[in-house]
Amino acid sequence: MNCQFGNSYTSIQCEDDLTIYFDEYMGYLFVAIGNESSAHMKRYINTCVTIIRYLCGPDVYQLKAKEEKSKLASRLIDSWIHLNSNDQAVFVEAVEQLVVNADLSSATIKALRESVDKLAPQIECNKIHALVLIQNRFLSLYSSQNAKELSSADILFSILLCQSTNLNQSDIQKTSNQITSHQILLAGPDRYPKCLPHVVHIIPLSESVSLLYLLEIGNPAVAASLYENFCHLHTMQLVQIQRDKETLRPAFENLDLATRRLNDSLKKNKNTAIENSHKQLMKKWEVIRKKYQEYLKNTSDEALLRAETLALGFLENLKELLGLTAVDGSVLKYSSKYMKEAAKIVKEKLSVFEEFLKAKSIKNFSLGSYPFEQ
């Protein structure tokens, strides 16, 4: 239905009120089966896709290739199910912000600023967000001047990360030496593609308080153009099945433009592995581009078939470049060494408010209206 007519099914109703729901992302079909309400199932499957986008970006195959990612995805989905049933803020897809007095608000921002100012030169990163959560509630956020704005979806995902690692649960006793770290791809503000590479460190400050540092890594221009290439290549793979030149032409032009942008963004890169992968990608694209142009000019099925075959190798190069530019294990390992000292600043500044924060983690009356954007 989707390939031939551009009209895919979103659900199938079965006997005994059982319904099968579908969603698609980067060529992968997501299926959810249940007898809950239609609205709930749609939110569930949309949330699953969103979580995977945060963990894998446009390369969904990582769920199969990397077991730790698939396990984390499962924990995050389980966390969402729990919070959706027990937390009103998550249920209405909003970020619940604690209402505190001016003294606590000022002290928190000052502590976060001091910790970020100390951390930035140590880890050679000037794009940092520092976030304090009380249980599953948002207390305060400080972002360095060069850091791109966090979206409400980014904050909600951060809450899910904390929940999934059990850092905010009541059975944790003053475990400030425990740090949980992940590499993720944030959504960022609306004007950016949903593929901004970050390292996140989660540090429990007390039984109910968690501190998160989000470090922007890589090149945002490379990340943006890579994401565009994945999207437009996926569109090409869908429309070329129809063998309709008028549909294929704009899809090809968009992919060609995205590839040129990626080429421009990678030209100044000095990393040998990235340079080699970049050269291979562009060599493959030159051949593919000529084959698509040949088809658009002469309607040569042989040329289109050759382009389709070569596109598989092109996709593998895109995945390789994504791994080289969006994933940096050295940054994750190196930066984690400095997290404890930075966190001490925040912990000491907030220690005088500890009992108050414990009480606020249980009872809070204000619900912020920050919509969760898929």
φ and ψ at 200, to 5 degrees? -120, 135
User: Which of 33, 52, 86 marks a domain boundary?
Assistant: 86
* C-alpha to C-alpha distance for 287 and 129, rounded to whole angstroms: 43
In a domain, 338, yes or no: yes
**Structural domain range at position 201:** 102-217+329-362
Least confident of 101-110, 228-237, 271-280, 312-321: 101-110
Give the pLDDT confidence of 177-203 residue by residue, as tens digits. 588 999 999 988 776 667 899 999 999
Are 161 and 205 found together in one domain? yes
Residues 231 and 315: beta-carbon distance below 8 Å: no
Q: Are residues 207 and 107 in the same domain?
A: yes
pLDDT digits (tens, 9 = 90+) for 335-348: 988 998 999 999 99
Q: Are 48 and 130 part of one and the same domain?
A: no
**Same domain (yes/no): 257, 354:** no
| Sequence letter at residue 302 | E
| 5 is a domain residue | no
| pLDDT tens per residue across span 228-261 | 999 999 999 888 887 888 889 999 999 999 999 9
Residue 364's pLDDT band (boundaries 50, 70, 90)?
Answer: low
Tokens of 311: 């596109």
- The rounded percent of the chain whose pLDDT value lies above 90 is 51
Q: Are 230 and 291 contained in the same domain? A: yes
Task: Tell whether 94 is covered by a domain.
Answer: no
3-state class percentages of the chain: helix first, strand second, coil last, to nearest 5: 60, 15, 25
For residue 194, being part of any structural domain is answered with yes
Q: Which residue among 30, 55, 86 closes a domain?
A: 86
CA torsion 185→188→190→195, rounded to 10°? -20
> Is there a domain that residue 9 lies in?
no
CA distance 195 to 199: 13
User: Would you say 130 and 353 are in contact if contact means Cβ atoms under 8 Å apart?
Assistant: no
333 and 310 within one domain: no
The rounded distance, in Å, linking the Cα atoms of 233 and 238 is 9
Residues 209 and 117 reside in one and the same domain: yes
Asked if pLDDT for residue 126 goes beyond 80, the answer is: yes
Q: Is the pLDDT of residue 374 over 60?
A: no
Give dist(CA 179, CA 337) in Å, integer.
10
Interacting residues of 226 by C-beta distance below 8 A, sequence separation 6+: 58, 195, 262, 318, 321, 322, 325, 326
In a domain, 161, yes or no: yes
Could you tell me which of 171, 144, 173, 141 has the C-alpha nearest to residue 154? 141
Residue 93 belongs to some domain of the structure: no
Same domain, 355 and 208: yes
Q: Which residue has the tokens 């249920």?
A: 91
The length of the chain, given as a count of residues? 374
Tens-digit pLDDT profile for residues 28-70: 989 999 988 888 898 999 999 999 999 999 999 999 999 999 9
Residues 46, 116 within the same domain: no
Same domain, 207 and 229: no
Q: Report how far residue 233's alpha carbon sits from residue 257's, in angstroms, rounded to the nearest whole number.
A: 11
User: Which CATH number is 206's domain given?
Assistant: 3.30.450.30
Tally of domains within the chain: 3
Residues 111 and 209 in one domain: yes
35, 174: one domain: no
Query: What is the model's pTM?
Result: 0.88
Q: What residue type is 60 in one-letter code?
A: V
The top-scoring range by mean pLDDT among 11-15, 44-48, 357-361 is 44-48
301-338 pLDDT tens trace: 899 999 999 999 999 999 999 999 988 778 888 898 89
